[in-house]
Amino acid sequence: MWNVILPIITLIVGAAGGFAGGVFYLRKQIEKMQSNPEMLQKMAKQMGYNLNNQQMRKAQSMMKNQKLR
């Protein structure tokens, strides 16, 4: 019986831990992008956008105003 229950519990705990770690990492990256316009420009280019200075300032202000929970 423990041969079935233990792997299921391990899977659930591992998935929850991985999700929490991923959220933490993503929040830290977003915080870095708010203060580093080069990172924001690089991300935009990877997505296929080319931002001018006005668009860059607007994107940064939108990210700063966004509340991270």
Distance of CA 60 to the CA centre of its chain: 15
Show the domain range for 59.
2-65
What pLDDT, on a 0 to 100 scale, did the predictor assign at position 16? 97
Instruction: Assign 3-class secondary structure to the chain.
Output: CHHHHHHHHHHHHHHHHHHHHHHHHHHHHHHHHHHCHHHHHHHHHHCCCCCCHHHHHHHHHHHHHCCCC
Condensed to tens digits (0 to 9), the pLDDT of residues 51-66 reads 888 888 888 788 777 7
Output the pTM of the full model. Answer: 0.58
Binned average pLDDT, 10 residues per bin, the chain of 69 residues: 93 97 91 78 85 83 70
Domain count, the chain: 1
